[in-house]
Amino acid sequence: MATKRNNGPAPSRRDFLKTTAAMMGVGAAAGTFGGISCGPRGSAPIKVGIMHSLSGTMAISETSLRDVELMAIEEINAKGGVLGRQIQPIVEDPASDWPTFAEKSKKLLLRDEVCSVFGCWTSASRKAVLPVFEKNNGLLWYPVQYEGNECSHNVFYTGAAPNQQIGPAVTWLLKNRGKKFYLLGSDYVFPRTANGIIKGQLKAEGGELVGEEYTPLGHMEYSTVVNKIKSAKPEVVFSTINGDSNVAFYKQLRAAGITANDIPVMAVSVAEDEVRGIGGAVAEGHYAAWNYFQSVDTPENKVFVDKFRTKYGKDRVTDDPIEAAYFQVHLWAQAVAKAGSTEVDKIREAALGQEFKAPEGMVRLDPKNLHTWKTVRIGKIRADGQFDVVWATDGPVRPEPWDKIQFPKRDCDWTRGGTVENT
Amino acid sequence: MTSTTFLLGQLFNGLSYCSILLLIALGLAITFGLMGVINMAHGELMMLGSYAAYVLQNYFAKQLAAQYFGWYFVLALPLAFVVSGLAGLLLERSLIRRLYGRPLETLLATWGVSLILQQLMRQIFGANNVDVRSPGWLMGRWHVAAGLELPHLRLFIIAFTSTCLFLMYALLFRTALGLRIRAVTQNRDMSACLGVPTRKVDAYTFALGSGLAGFAGCILSLMGSVGPNSGQNYIVDAFMVVVLGGVGKLAGAIAGSFVIGQTNVLFESFSTATMGKVMVFTLVILFLQWKPSGVFPSKVRSLD
Amino acid sequence: MPATDLLTIDRLNVYYAESHILRDVSLTVPEHKVACLMGRNGAGKTTLLKSVMGLLPARSGQVQFAGENITTRCPDERARRGMGYVPQGREIFPTLTVQENLVLGLLAAKQPKNGIPDEIFHLFPILKTMLKRRGGDLSGGQQQQLALARAMLSHPRLLLLDEPTEGIQPSIIDEIEDVITRIKEQKAVSILLVEQYLEFAWRLADFYYIMEKGSIVAHGTTEELSEEVAHRHLAI
């Protein structure tokens, strides 16, 4: 997801104090500078970085990722840590500011010498830190679905690639809800890239495009858009709207008398957290495509949801990025254990092909492209704000970082040196 | 749907958008337009109004029988006015009155207040958006012709804004308080010399403008998001309307919202939402180059 | 003289920032009398009037009005205790109508219900024809009459007039003089008048005060004011 979600789980009082301390520069960075190296040295703790915005506009979304990553580290430490050593998280707050993300990355990699960083949400922040991780050979674990077309040796992508969310959703709609598509998105890189993929797919799979519209981020007046949709008479609306605008769109669509029975909306940026702000009554019957829903029925998920809500509050919900942030820490720990070392190159080598029974089901790090094999699901919004899973792939789907329509021959394969053109 | 019904629908949407903009700007037309206070926390005063609706809705849902639920919104409006008005009163008494005539300090101080209010709401209600439901009687539509249905919600907003406007005019031009408000905003010292308790009038005026922000927040909770940040979504529009219309005149806010609302919807009809917004901004900038004091400049003959 | 003093200023010191404007000024205005404050430009006359009205704070000294110490009172409190003020620039509310300007005077007297009494239009007939006009559209002389009428409508016990003849054509000066004379004859109001126009002051005032560099340098009854004193302090 390439921009902010203007809502998210409530930070606790402790978060607030921590955030405030960070903003005041009193020192959000836990731990000491220098001293312990990341290399294998007896029983000293293994240092990892956690780098999510805890203040500023993105705090709303990213704070939960910090919470769940700390929870995962606690779990691992409770079982004795990795290689007999405890894991010591170093939490940094880049404050929703992209240059600060780069600065904090440098600090974590060079001064704290952490062997992995769990971090970022927006594509903008990921793009800002990418050169830092590549230059210093660090490892970033990135838990949010994104627009694809990236192939880095220093990032493990644990959220969905476009083919693991958007593609299957389009195919499912064409089969089950109709051929006439109206594409609606916020006006920035992710929706435009996503809609490029969708249009290619519609052409290939026999769909029809009846309208395409982009609204500025934070757009609140959807009467004209709704009127255009009424005029265009689509069978489905595919929405890549992001942030607060979602609330305005669904409410005004409903006020204009269009229900999910008339024209269903399929969204890729509306998860449990967003539905809470829209209201289940308004959003009921519309769809979203993700790899994980809180309602996913696996034993692992039951334990995960209970644990998260016991730790952070009964009113909290889990959703796709939160779940990815959780399991990526476990994947990392397995890799370190297998590598028997905390050296970056060895961790990377060991991580490839790692599997973990995550709340969403089995996930696996692709041995070639550093993305994650994930199950794709389509959920239908219920009145209580949770999702009924109406369709899912049989098992994890192989991630394809490069968009097959724009770049039919391109592949990301680190066994062959990274981005390659197939002939 | 034919293109005629599309156009008729757009005409109505334009009117609806104008009324929303006017509602957003009305409070600011008082506090910024008349009093000259650059209140960056205006959006947060709106947000307080939205949360007032949310709290009352929850109270109704929990404490009262379901058949009364639809009435919550009728009470939410005055509650929002009072909550935001009192917050405005407190803000004026504690902070703004010390900063009259110092726009930069006011801007910074109220910006700080806006951050504090956002964080306060985050502490109380959480960082999530909350869900404010429309009462049943606002969910219907007026069926005008095939393909042309006017949502009750939007009709209600038009009627409500018109009523607010009428009451504002009556208050400002038909009551002693209104006369005093206009006198103080024009010449504070001379008003005082005529026995007008200027500090009280300042406080009442600011509270009135803040209360109107509460109205706007309450109504917009049915149209958009309600969260700690949602006030930020409207602040730019509000200032744009007041500046375009001409600072210091209620008629300016009307003209400003009408021009921005209609042109925005018109442009958006034939291009996209983003292009519509870009064109409106361009138009506003060009217009202000040509007439820097807006549609209705406050022309005051310099007194000799 | 048996008359009690309505306004008593006792060793008043006023500063603008750090510059000392009024130095130990003492002055009294008895009930129903007219005192005229004279002096060259920059002597501190307007400052004194503003201080009496409460627009400028006193650093030391006292202002007593009708037996009450009002030194720290706000202008609006002073106005409600019976001070009417016609400032130098007239300070008409430019976008309010003539009528609204007058009603503000009435509001100060807390009698808005009765409407604007007709007597005021006997004094200022021109205003009656202009009720709907905006204050800012009136000529200088008309604004002066409006300011005077507005102050009168607040039923003051003390009227503070700051150069009512300044920049006004002679015919209107006569009218204004007539009005002030009639106010004086009604023996209900005391007046503190700032005036540079000597003849005018001479005809209207019972007492005179002459200021120079922020201090009162001469005072007495107008009958005692000799050509010689006037010339020494007031000639340019």
For A94-111, write each residue's pLDDT tens digit.
988 889 999 999 999 999
Mean pLDDT to the nearest integer, B57-73: 87
Residue B111 confidence class, pLDDT cut points 50, 70, 90: very high
CB nearest to B195's CB, from C103, C140, C154: C154
Q: Are residues A21 and A91 in the same domain?
A: yes
Q: What is the pLDDT of residue A28?
A: 35
Q: What is the pLDDT of residue A161?
A: 93
Range of the domain at B266: 3-290
For residue A124, being part of any structural domain is answered with yes
Verify whether the Cβ–Cβ distance B196 to C76 is below 8 Å: yes
CB contact, 8 Å: A178 with chain B? no
Mutation pick from A61, A213, A227 vs chain B, by most beta carbons of B within 10 Å, is A227
- What CATH code is carried by the domain that includes residue B224? 1.10.3470
Verify whether the Cβ–Cβ distance B194 to C80 is below 8 Å: no
Q: Are residues A348 and A368 in the same domain?
A: yes
Mean pLDDT to the nearest integer, A210-217: 92
CB nearest to A8's CB, from B16, B128, B154: B128
CB nearest to B130's CB, from A60, A246, A277: A277
First to last CA, chain B: 63
Mean pLDDT rounded to a whole number for chain A:
88
Cross-strand partners of C138 = none
CA distance A257 to chain B (A): 7
Report residue C29: phi and psi, to 5°.
-125, 115
For residue A282, being part of any structural domain is answered with yes
CB contact, 8 Å: B139 with chain A? yes
Can you tell me which residue has the tokens 């180059």? B289
A191 contacts in chain B (CB < 8 Å): none
Q: Are residues A396 and A319 in the same domain?
A: no
For residue B246, being part of any structural domain is answered with yes
pLDDT at A188 over 90: no
pLDDT at A18 over 60: no
For residue A3, being part of any structural domain is answered with no
CA distance B246 to chain C (A): 15
Domains contained in chain A, number:
2
**Which of A327-331, A384-388, A389-393, B146-150 shows the lowest per-residue confidence on average (mean pLDDT)?**
B146-150
Q: Collapse the DSSP code of A2 into the 3-class scheme (helix H, G, I; strand E, B; otherwise coil) and give the result.
A: coil
Q: Which residues contact A89 (CB under 8 A, 6 or more apart)?
A: A30, A47, A48, A49, A50, A69, A70, A73
**B&C contacts, CB < 8 Å:** 84
Chains interfacing with A (3 or more CB pairs < 8 Å)? B
Q: Collapse the DSSP code of C78 into the 3-class scheme (helix H, G, I; strand E, B; otherwise coil) and give the result.
A: helix
Sign of the CA dihedral A239, A245, A249, A251? positive
Mutation pick from A186, A247, A284, A312 vs chain B, by most beta carbons of B within 10 Å, is A247
- In whole angstroms, what is the distance from residue A383 CA to residue A260 CA? 12
Asked if residues C25 and C216 have their Cβ atoms less than 8 Å apart, the reply is: yes
CA distance C105 to chain B (A): 6
Asked if residues A118 and A72 have their Cβ atoms less than 8 Å apart, the reply is: no
B133 contacts in chain A (CB < 8 Å): 279, 281-282
CB nearest to C112's CB, from B176, B193, B198: B176
pLDDT at B115 over 50: yes
B173 contacts in chain C (CB < 8 Å): none
- In whole angstroms, what is the distance from residue B234 CA to residue A312 CA? 32
Q: Are residues A31 and A149 in the same domain?
A: yes
Q: Collapse the DSSP code of A415 into the 3-class scheme (helix H, G, I; strand E, B; otherwise coil) and give the result.
A: coil
Q: Which helix (H) or strand (E) holds A289?
A: strand A287-290
Verify whether the Cβ–Cβ distance B298 to C95 is below 8 Å: yes
Residue A36 confidence class, pLDDT cut points 50, 70, 90: very low
Q: Collapse the DSSP code of B234 into the 3-class scheme (helix H, G, I; strand E, B; otherwise coil) and give the result.
A: helix
Residue B126 confidence class, pLDDT cut points 50, 70, 90: confident
Verify whether the Cβ–Cβ distance B303 to C91 is below 8 Å: yes
Asked if residues A374 and A164 have their Cβ atoms less than 8 Å apart, the reply is: yes
DSSP secondary structure letters along C11-26 = EEEEEETTEEEEEEEE
Verify whether the Cβ–Cβ distance A256 to B141 is below 8 Å: yes
Alpha-carbon distances, residue C199 vs A124, B275, C196 (angstroms): 81, 72, 9
Verify whether the Cβ–Cβ distance B273 to A248 is below 8 Å: no
Q: Which helix (H) or strand (E) holds B283?
A: helix B273-290
Of residues A205 and A9, more confidence is placed in A205
Query: pLDDT by residue (tens digit) across A248-291?
Result: 999 999 999 999 999 999 999 899 988 988 999 999 999 999 99
- In whole angstroms, what is the distance from residue C82 CA to residue C155 CA? 7
Q: Do chains C and A touch (3 or more CB pairs under 8 A)?
A: no
% of chain A surpassing 90 pLDDT: 71
pLDDT at A230 over 80: yes
Residue B301 confidence class, pLDDT cut points 50, 70, 90: very low
**Which of A124-133, B288-297, C120-129 shows the lowest per-residue confidence on average (mean pLDDT)?**
B288-297
B249 contacts in chain C (CB < 8 Å): none
Residue A263, both tokens: 């024209």
The dihedral formed by the CA atoms of A176, A180, A182 and A183, expressed in degrees to the nearest 10:
70
Q: What is the pLDDT of residue C173?
A: 86
For residue B296, being part of any structural domain is answered with no
C80 contacts in chain B (CB < 8 Å): 195
The candidate with the shortest Cα–Cα distance to A403, out of A188, A212, A166, is: A166
Mutation pick from B58, B225, B271 vs chain A, by most beta carbons of A within 10 Å, is B225
CB contact, 8 Å: B170 with chain A? no
For residue A134, being part of any structural domain is answered with yes
Q: Are residues A78 and A93 in the same domain?
A: yes
Q: What is the pLDDT of residue B123?
A: 83
Q: Are residues A276 and A180 in the same domain?
A: yes
Q: Which residues contact C165 (CB under 8 A, 6 or more apart)?
A: C173, C176, C177, C195, C197, C200
Verify whether the Cβ–Cβ distance B227 to A6 is below 8 Å: yes
For residue B174, being part of any structural domain is answered with yes
Q: Are residues A34 and A141 in the same domain?
A: yes
Residue A267, both tokens: 């969204």
C86 contacts in chain B (CB < 8 Å): none
**Which of A39-43, A373-377, B116-120, B138-142 shows the lowest per-residue confidence on average (mean pLDDT)?**
A39-43
Residue by residue, pLDDT tens for chain C (236 residues) are 445 889 999 999 999 888 999 999 999 999 999 999 998 888 999 999 999 999 999 999 999 999 999 999 999 999 999 999 999 988 999 989 999 999 999 888 776 667 888 888 988 888 999 999 999 999 888 999 999 999 999 999 999 999 988 888 888 888 888 888 988 888 889 999 998 878 888 888 999 999 999 999 989 998 888 777 777 777 75
Q: Are residues A85 and A130 in the same domain?
A: yes
For residue B298, being part of any structural domain is answered with no
The candidate with the shortest Cα–Cα distance to A48, out of A86, A75, A97, A17, is: A86
- What CATH code is carried by the domain that includes residue A127? 3.40.50.2300
CA distance B138 to chain C (A): 41
- In whole angstroms, what is the distance from residue A319 CA to residue A309 CA? 12
Verify whether the Cβ–Cβ distance C79 to B182 is below 8 Å: no
pLDDT at A136 over 90: yes
Mutation pick from C53, C85, C93, C103 vs chain B, by most beta carbons of B within 10 Å, is C93
The dihedral formed by the CA atoms of C136, C137, C139 and C144, expressed in degrees to the nearest 10:
-40
- In whole angstroms, what is the distance from residue A9 CA to residue A11 CA? 6
Q: Are residues A151 and A41 in the same domain?
A: yes
**Which of A403-407, B20-24, B120-124, C82-86 shows the lowest per-residue confidence on average (mean pLDDT)?**
A403-407
Q: What is the pLDDT of residue C224?
A: 83
DSSP secondary structure letters along B122-172 = HHHH-SS-B--PPPGGGT-EEEEETTEEEEHHHHHHHHHHHHHHHHHHHHH
Selected residues 224-283 of chain A with any CB under 8 Å from a CB in chain B: 224-225, 227-228, 230-231, 233, 244, 246-248, 251-252, 254-257, 273-274, 276-282
- In whole angstroms, what is the distance from residue A164 CA to residue B96 CA? 53
pLDDT at A325 over 90: yes
Q: What is the pLDDT of residue B210?
A: 97
CB nearest to B190's CB, from C80, C83, C87: C87
| Interface residue ranges in chain B relative to chain C, Cβ cutoff 8 Å | 176, 179-180, 182-183, 186-187, 189-199, 298, 300-301, 303-304
Query: pLDDT by residue (tens digit) across A336-379?
Result: 999 999 999 999 999 999 999 999 999 999 999 999 999 999 99
Q: What is the pLDDT of residue C113?
A: 67
Q: Are residues A198 and A309 in the same domain?
A: no
CA distance A61 to chain B (A): 9
Q: Which helix (H) or strand (E) holds A392?
A: strand A387-392
- Strand C158-162, strand C83-86: pairing: parallel
Q: Are residues A201 and A283 in the same domain?
A: yes
**What number is the ipTM of this complex?**
0.90
Verify whether the Cβ–Cβ distance B182 to C154 is below 8 Å: no
Verify whether the Cβ–Cβ distance B119 to A251 is below 8 Å: no
The candidate with the shortest Cα–Cα distance to C208, out of C232, C229, C236, is: C229
Verify whether the Cβ–Cβ distance B133 to A219 is below 8 Å: no
Domains contained in chain B, number:
1
Of residues A27 and A388, more confidence is placed in A388
Q: Are residues A250 and A310 in the same domain?
A: no
pLDDT at A86 over 90: yes
Range of the domain at A110: 13-160+298-374
Can you tell me which residue has the tokens 């409106």? B280
B183 contacts in chain C (CB < 8 Å): 93, 96, 100, 104
Residue C55, both tokens: 């627009």
Mutation pick from B46, B51, B128 vs chain A, by most beta carbons of A within 10 Å, is B128
- Taking CA–CA distances from A225, the nearest residue in chain B reads B273
CB nearest to A7's CB, from B127, B151, B153: B127
Q: Collapse the DSSP code of C52 into the 3-class scheme (helix H, G, I; strand E, B; otherwise coil) and give the result.
A: helix
For residue B170, being part of any structural domain is answered with yes
pLDDT at A40 over 60: no
Domains of chain C, with CATH numbers?
A: 1-82+157-169+184-236 (3.40.50.300), 89-155 (no CATH)
- Taking CA–CA distances from B191, the nearest residue in chain C reads C76
Asked if residues A353 and A367 have their Cβ atoms less than 8 Å apart, the reply is: yes
CB contact, 8 Å: B134 with chain A? yes
Selected residues 191-250 of chain B with any CB under 8 Å from a CB in chain A: 220, 222-227, 229-230, 232-234
Q: Which helix (H) or strand (E) holds A214?
A: strand A208-215
B298 contacts in chain C (CB < 8 Å): 95
pLDDT at A48 over 90: yes
pLDDT at B165 over 70: yes
Neighbour-count burial of C227, counting CB atoms closer than 10 A to its CB (0-12 exposed, 13-18 middle, 19+ buried)? exposed
Asked if residues B252 and B295 have their Cβ atoms less than 8 Å apart, the reply is: yes
Verify whether the Cβ–Cβ distance B194 to C154 is below 8 Å: yes
Chains interfacing with C (3 or more CB pairs < 8 Å)? B
